[in-house]
Amino acid sequence: MALTSIPRRHLLRTIAGAAVLLAAAGAVQAQQGPFIVMASTTSTEQSGLFSHLLPAFTKASGIEVRVVAQGTGQALDMARRGDADIVFVHDQPAEEKFVAEGFGLKRQAVMYNDFVLVGPKSDPAGVKGADVVAAMGKLAAAGAPFISRGDKSGTHAAELRFWKVAGVDMAAKHPAGYKECGCGMGPALNIAASSGAYVLADRGTWLSFKNRADLAVLVEGDKRLFNQYGVIVVNPAKHPHVKVKEAQRFADWVVSPAGQSTIAAYKINGEQLFFPNASAQ
């Protein structure tokens, strides 16, 4: 039907209705404001750090950060597909490869904590006080129950390195008590707590974990348990749609004195979970 055949009153209603819809859509968009998508790890999310850190950045910048928490490998894969503007993860070799392949602009060190080997207080495998490599060897020899995240996370990558140095060929055969959950750090700890198993955890998630049951930290302090976190803005040359300006603002802020002091201020029961070290790298 031609517009000229539509009654004038109907046409005016249609135009007015369209104007209202466009105005409403514009208002919603304005209310949303600028945001970036961050692919990050379950440890930064489940430790509670982001609930403390990200509101401070949003207050300073007006930019909202929407986090997709998963294993580091999955986070980097998400960014490779162009589904994130920035990554905040903890597997330095994988991060450096990501940048070398052209997917990231620059890797910046942000903070560190450490891994701990957690297990039943009774410690049937006798790993308490050992270094992490000796402990992994004892777990394999005893066929002790061990929960692996099995999710390509930074924690999983570290665990596989420790097995390898301990002489355990995971590609050939898993130790008798080894089970993969394909899950985040919190769920892995829950499974270990309910089954009396050992598990490698980042200290931040362990400190925030409530359901400890009979679990305790048995191995800690080994320099190989050092756990570094880095931030990388996704390269717009690979994915032109990424919000590189806003993402770079977060990367710059989190390594600035303001961002670093905000990280240092995050504590649980008076214990600091992450230690800023941007200036040391």
The pLDDT tens digits for 110-124 are 999 999 999 999 999
> In which element (H, E) is residue 67 found?
strand 64-70
Mean pLDDT, the chain, rounded, equals 90
Q: Which of 75, 61, 68 is nearest to 230 (CA)?
A: 75
33-113+227-280 carries CATH number 3.30.360.10: no
CB distance 44 to 50 below 8 Å? yes
Q: Tell me the C-alpha distance between 163 and 140, whole Å.
A: 9
What pLDDT is recorded for position 33? 86
CB distance 87 to 38 below 8 Å? yes
CB distance 106 to 232 below 8 Å? yes
Domain residue ranges in the chain: 33-113+227-280, 114-225
Count of residues in the chain: 281
> At a CB cut-off of 8 Å and minimum separation 6, what does 54 contact?
65, 67
CB distance 120 to 165 below 8 Å? no
Question: Does this chain's domain 33-113+227-280 share its CATH topology with 114-225?
Answer: yes
Q: Which of 270, 273, 263 is nearest to 207 (CA)?
A: 273
Q: Tell me the C-alpha distance between 197 and 189, whole Å.
A: 9
- Level-2 CATH architecture, domain 114-225: 3-Layer(aba) Sandwich (3.40)
pLDDT over threshold 50, residue 24: no
When pLDDT is cut at 50, 70 and 90, the band that residue 182 belongs to is: very high
Could you report the per-residue pLDDT of 195-212, keeping only the tens digit for each? 999 999 999 999 999 999
